Amino acid sequence: MLELRLVQGSLLKKVLEAIKDLVTDANFDCSATGFSLQAMDSSHVALVSLLLRSEGFEHYRCDRNISMGMNLNNMAKMLKCAGNDDIITLKADDGSDTVTFMFESPTQDKISDFEMKLMDVDSEHLGIPEAEYHAIVRMPSTEFARICKDLSSIGDTVVISVTKEGVKFSTSGDIGTANVVCRQNTTVDKPEDATIVEMNEPVSLTFALRYFNSFTKGTPLSNTVTISLSSELPVVVEYKIAEMGHLRFYLAPKIEEDDEEK
Amino acid sequence: MLELRLVQGSLLKKVLEAIKDLVTDANFDCSATGFSLQAMDSSHVALVSLLLRSEGFEHYRCDRNISMGMNLNNMAKMLKCAGNDDIITLKADDGSDTVTFMFESPTQDKISDFEMKLMDVDSEHLGIPEAEYHAIVRMPSTEFARICKDLSSIGDTVVISVTKEGVKFSTSGDIGTANVVCRQNTTVDKPEDATIVEMNEPVSLTFALRYFNSFTKGTPLSNTVTISLSSELPVVVEYKIAEMGHLRFYLAPKIEEDDEEK
DNA sequence: TTGTATTGGA
DNA sequence: TCCAATACAA
């Protein structure tokens, strides 16, 4: 028996909007610790990792560990039927091959339940080692999204270079080249507007922009985004989910010697 | 060496949005006087004329007259990467075949530079004689845009008739006919809401509506539009650019005896 | 709450 | 290619 009651149901809606374009099918893993997901994107290049800790739920009952395979597009379709202020309760009976989403309007005047078939999804649960990163950049999530979108109108790849002074995003394409420099900047009115660079070693890595533009679908989840970089390691783009956990995206850098795939 | 610093960068963004659909490639001409462009539309029927006077720039350095050929779609793409509050600086070194757009965010925390290749563009710099017009109509630019859009759902051509009382826009098509009359009207709260008709002689001219619907892309540049008409002369549709200059569109009237081109 | 920007559809 | 509906920002 599984029953998870999430008062701020919009969080789950946003999470699905953020990952459904990247991952089509995935297993949600429930344990006493929380509700989590780990999946490769459909092209098997990027990794998505979601954690919603049990403490973040108003009610969290998970009798035994369970893994539920879902089609994320279908799940997103159902969650779209929940109001943004609705309380969402996720239920599954032991041994059932379905999951039920219940939506309660704030006034309790409208109660909906949507039942969705579960599916078998191959899961390769990759252990992600905790790593020390050469550089960690925190910046407003909207600004990061804007930069990724702008640069992708010029080129296909982005070079992210971090120095003490700040972080530089560069690209080049047929019509020209572009560089966007964000200076470290902590003297802002609101702390979420700050751009903070923690750097142990300068680092400069190249990535495919199209994945970044998928990652930035996570923007509605948090005002800030954290980008962790080390040479040779996948970059981590993390959106904190208030009081509950995080949504993280991992993407391996392009190696210089790589030819452009076309 | 060329360096033009425009504090209100959104102006340049709007200018490019206004002309990029009409003209694909054009030469920007820089002289001590200002930054200007003159180009025929791709079907060689309408003429676009832009002037941004040097006094309107915060900093204007143009060592020698220079003509820079640009693909306006590519230039618009790059300018879209500037924030609306950004300061835009346009730079070109002597003899260089590229131009650089620099965008500074208001807080100076984000500095971007975009480099674009220049191109050779055939330019036929037509002298546009200053003319006396039979009638000059000034009206709210949004109203003019609305009329052009509305009429183009009925017919392909518009007859603009100016009398002392006001201006009439007429069209007819398969499904019927339409007349929109705007009366001279200066008793309004805001001066930009006025419709003013200066008329020496009544005039009635016919134009292809599709060009007018391109011209009205200039609407964001100014609250008012000025339409200058004389029989036998191209109409001038002018959007003033505050403190800097203007964007003008010229279109020859259809002659009554003309068959419909199709 | 309004106006604007973006996205999806015709 | 253009327009409408929607989502977002001011």
Residues B72-124: pLDDT tens digits?
999 999 999 999 999 999 999 998 999 999 999 998 999 999 999 999 999 87
At B34 the pLDDT is 97
Q: How far apart are CA A39 and CA A52, in angstroms?
A: 15
Please give the Cα distance from B38 to A20 (Å, whole number): 48
Please tell me the predicted confidence (pLDDT) of residue B137.
Answer: 96
In tens, the pLDDT along A167-181 reads 999 999 999 999 999
- Is A153 in Cβ contact with B116 (below 8 Å)? no
Query: Contact A86/A5 with Cβ under 8 angstroms?
Result: no
Chain A residues with beta carbon closer than 8 angstroms to that of B98: 176
Q: Give yes or no for residue B189 having a pLDDT over 90.
A: no
β-strands B66-71, B25-30: how paired?
antiparallel
Residue A182 touches chain B, beta carbons under 8 Å: yes
Point out the nucleotide closest to A21 (alpha carbon to C1′). Answer: C7
Structure tokens at A238: 């993390």
> Looking at the complex, does the CB of residue B113 fall below 8 Å from at least one CB of chain A?
yes
Q: How deeply is A105 buried, as exposed, middle or buried, from its count of CB atoms within 10 A (0-12, 13-18, 19+)?
A: middle
| DSSP label of B188 | -
The size of chain A, in residues, is 262
Assign B80 to helix, strand or coil. helix
C1' (C5) to CA (B52) span, angstroms: 26
From B180, B257, B175, select the one nearest B212 (Cα to Cα). Answer: B180
Per-residue pLDDT of chain A (262 residues; tens, 9 = 90+): 999 999 999 999 999 999 999 999 999 999 999 999 999 998 889 999 999 999 999 999 999 999 999 999 999 999 998 988 899 999 999 989 999 999 999 888 889 999 999 999 998 777 888 889 999 999 999 999 999 999 999 999 999 999 988 999 999 999 999 999 999 988 877 888 899 999 999 999 999 999 999 999 999 999 999 999 999 899 999 999 999 999 999 999 988 755 554 3
Rounded to 5 degrees, what are φ and ψ at B218?
A: -80, -5
Q: Does B74 touch chain A (CB under 8 A)?
A: yes
Residue-level pLDDT at B262: 39
What average pLDDT does chain A have? 92
The string of pLDDT tens digits covering residues A59-72 is 999 999 999 999 99
Q: How far is the CA of B248 from the C1' of D9 (A)?
A: 31
Report how far residue A48's alpha carbon sits from residue A77's, in angstroms, rounded to the nearest whole number: 20
Distance between CA atoms of residues B8 and B104, nearest Å = 11
The residue behind tokens 């009115």 is A189
Q: Is the pLDDT of residue B55 over 90?
A: yes
Q: How far is Cα B237 from Cα B221, in angstroms, rounded to an integer?
A: 13
CA distances from residue A199 to A88, A162, A231 in whole angstroms, order as listed: 40, 8, 13
Question: Which residues are CB-neighbours of B230 under 8 A, at least 6 positions away?
Answer: B131, B132, B133, B134, B135, B203
